[in-house]
Structure 1
């Protein structure tokens, strides 16, 4: 069971939102702690078993983590484990649940396609590692809760912006 879970509704299609999340190289755009992510070992996308390196920062402290994708169900679920050296420190899950579309459609037939994203964090550090980390970084759970909220809010802005730009482009293109 996850130690933390944050959810947020996004007014953009689940497939678009999932694709943004799964493009881990963009995580630095949304996360207040992760500066950037690079794929490792020839990986170029989030598929089960793909590995990546994360470059993180909190104040003046910087560190590198390594990750491995453990689940990648397009449009629905992305999960990965994070390691510092050989030690597993966390597990992250992103669940994308599309809004249900009413049947029959409302008069006019217009339905905003949206989804709810749940971000979950599971602390996998040993008790010793957790105690050491708390001395250096402070309350990790509280910090991550705030960071998850900020990450989801930034993801929402990106996803809704991309979706609405795309919709305007299609509407503008069909009028020519």
Structure 2
């Protein structure tokens, strides 16, 4: 079983203004277009968009195992600057996913990161490794962030 890391991040340059990139990434209903693991998300409990405190339901699928879902809550929603959410719960740890947007001369530098406020416990880490078929969940998350940003870049630059 691999020891988990509490933080990782990936960045890319996108030739589009920060406000346009923010509009794409903060629309969680489109997350399935960008993420290789989060296949679907919908706003819940009366939420209709990205505001601090809004909740959404996210369905994930990784590797060969079963799909799962969680109920993230938006923790930062600053148009053109930052979008973040936290997903936590019994036995699943507490992870904050963040997208920071920095204006550049040609568009936007986007940094996607995660911070584990509370890492998965050993039993859930083992189960996750079995479900995904991967012995290194953190490497999976890094690949997922790289893929997410590449797909986001393609959509933003095509618009």
TM-score (norm 2): 0.85
Flag structure 1 segments of 5+ consecutive residues without an equivalent: 101-112, 163-176
**Match of 2:52?**
48
Number of equivalent positions: 150
User: Whose helix fraction is larger, Structure 1's or Structure 2's?
Assistant: 1
For residue 82 of structure 2, the aligned residue among 55, 77, 81 is 77
> Which of 1 and 2 has greater Rg?
1
For residue 130 of structure 1, the aligned residue among 99, 113, 125 is 125
How far the C-alpha of 1:82 sits from its partner, in A, is 1.2
Q: 3-state SS of the aligned residue for 1:12?
A: coil
RMSD after superposition: 2.0
Correspondence 1:151 to 2:148: yes
How far the C-alpha of 1:83 sits from its partner, in A, is 2.8
- Structure 2 CA distance for aligned equivalents of residues 70 and 91 of structure 1: 8
TM-score (norm 1): 0.78
For residue 120 of structure 1, the aligned residue among 113, 116, 126 is 113
Q: Which runs of 4+ in 1 moved over 6 A?
A: none
How far the C-alpha of 1:38 sits from its partner, in A, is 0.5
